[in-house]
Amino acid sequence: MTLAALVCACVLGLVAGGPVAGLQDAGAADSEGATGTGDAVSEFVDLTAVSEGERAAAEIRGAVRDAAARRVAAAQAGDAEALAGLMAAEEAMISRAVEVQLAGSELDTAQFEHRESLDEFREARQDLNTHLATLYTIGPIRTVDVVGDVDGDVVVAVLSRKVLLESVFAGAEKRMLDAFLATEIDVDIRSMAAERRAAEDEMRALRQSRVAASADVAEASAILDALAALPDDVVFPIAGDHNFIDTFLAPRMYGSADAHRHQGTDVFAAEGTPLVAMERGIVVRIGQIRLGGNRFWLIGESGARYYYAHLSGFAEIEEGQFVEAGTVVGYVGNTGNARTTPPHLHIQVHPDGGRAVNPYPLLRQLADRDAGLIEAGGTALGALPPA
């Protein structure tokens, strides 16, 4: 599975659940949750909000960690599959290489033996030609009629010469015939050469398969490395120095038509400090409203929705864009109804797209985790590289 496929799977999973429509359920979240002006915030309500926020923090972080573990497991499976494919390709290539080598040896032996047979045939034919030339020189042997006194020794010599020549010619002819047959019997050089060429063609195809398998391994390894480098937990939303306290449900703008109780946490930081995605997910509803100023929503992989408000500006993000956790999405500011306050991020957390819960417990956990990482000589989770 490629990294693009994993991203698509995440996006499809989020869209299939209808998260964009779920943002409407947050109702007045864009106005920081207008709830009226008459209710006092009791100690019981405060404790309930904190408890609810802690429970939501545990669920959200657990879901993010589980999703990260599944991605890495899928990448590891893909890496293992690619390695198995490479090993199979190498095994096939080695096996075929042995066959090609054996075929080459057999062909070389056959060609050597064929050359020897041809040489033997040429020598036998040359010997026969020599005998024929000798016969032509001495003339034919004829039967002698005995007229008068004939020397018996002469007759014996003539007959012996005739038998000898017949024997020599018969032997020369047989040797030449045997040598000729040796060049034809059990030796099909063309067929063996064709088989070797076919085996070499197959070897080239196997080498190409191995190259492709090696590329698959490299891609799978790169995907695994990339996923392993991604945050495996929720990321703190501000990439820089910050401070915050628990102000969830605190009164806001009392005495005005916009009076409401605070539905999030204000995290203060220098203007222009980068804001990052707390989870991998989709950025939606990018724009400006009266109270929230520059704001957007992040639909997280866990199902949680995060509301960022009062930004001084947006990063290079587009409506519906997929982002990884830790991606810069905007910058700290004080737009909207925060124009008279120090620059800060108003952040809301809506588990499963429902009503807002107290984000302070989650933010506190993330800040403490990062402080521990830095104290141990590391960096905050999802930290941006040095400028």
265-288 pLDDT, tens digit each: 999 999 999 999 999 999 999 999
**Domain shared by 107 and 223, yes or no:** yes
**Domain shared by 264 and 311, yes or no:** yes
pLDDT for the residue numbered 92: 75
**Domain shared by 204 and 295, yes or no:** no
Residues in the chain: 387
**Domain shared by 260 and 294, yes or no:** yes
- 0.75 surpassed by pTM: no
Task: Quickly list H helices, 1-42.
Answer: 3-16, 19-23
pLDDT for the residue numbered 99: 67
**Domain shared by 253 and 277, yes or no:** yes
Give me Rg for the CA atoms of the chain. Answer: 47
Among 229, 249, 280, identify where a domain stops.
229
Q: Is 368 among the domain residues?
A: yes
**Domain shared by 138 and 176, yes or no:** yes
**Domain shared by 238 and 183, yes or no:** no
| Both tokens assigned to 84 | 């198995």
pLDDT digits (tens, 9 = 90+) for 81-108: 887 777 777 677 676 666 666 666 666 6
**Domain shared by 256 and 335, yes or no:** yes
**Domain shared by 115 and 202, yes or no:** yes
pLDDT for the residue numbered 58: 94
Among 178, 207, 229, identify where a domain stops.
229
Cα 384 to Cα 387: distance, rounded to the nearest angstrom: 8
Rounded to the nearest integer, the mean pLDDT of the chain is 78
Taking 70 as the pLDDT cut, the residues of the chain under it are: 1-46, 90, 93, 95-121, 124-125, 127-128, 131-190, 192, 387
**Domain shared by 152 and 207, yes or no:** yes
**Domain shared by 240 and 317, yes or no:** yes
Domain of residue 251 covers 3-71+232-375
Cα 245 to Cα 266: distance, rounded to the nearest angstrom: 8
Biggest CA–CA distance in the chain, Å, is: 170
Among 229, 248, 267, identify where a domain stops.
229
Domain count, the chain: 2
pLDDT for the residue numbered 5: 46
Cα 206 to Cα 225: distance, rounded to the nearest angstrom: 28
**Domain shared by 264 and 188, yes or no:** no
What CATH number is attached to the domain comprising 354? 2.70.70.10
